Amino acid sequence: MLYVVPSYLAREDETLELLTPEKLIGNMDEHVMAHAEPAALEDHLKQRLQAHLESGDTVLCLTAGGGGSLDEWLRQEFTP
């Protein structure tokens, strides 16, 4: 499963289009789209990721880091 979370605009160019999870998924191949869903950094996503971990799935998270980012959220939610 591919979970796509909101991203942030590049600070250096505020005229760039905001690429929402829905827009990003909409540009994917149909086969990939069938396994992708928009997500938010909230408890529902944490539960889904935890279920994948508990079932032995590999969980790969790609992030650029920064305040309020996926990186920060993962460290907060999954650090013992």
For residue 45, the cross-strand partners are none
Provide the 8-state DSSP code for 42: S
User: Residues 8-45: pLDDT tens digits?
Assistant: 766 677 788 888 999 999 999 999 999 999 999 999 99
Closest CA to 5 of 32, 39, 48, 47: 39
DSSP state of 43: H
Strand, coil or helix: 22? helix
Q: Give the whole-angstrom CA distance, residue 4 versus residue 27.
A: 12
pTM of the model: 0.84
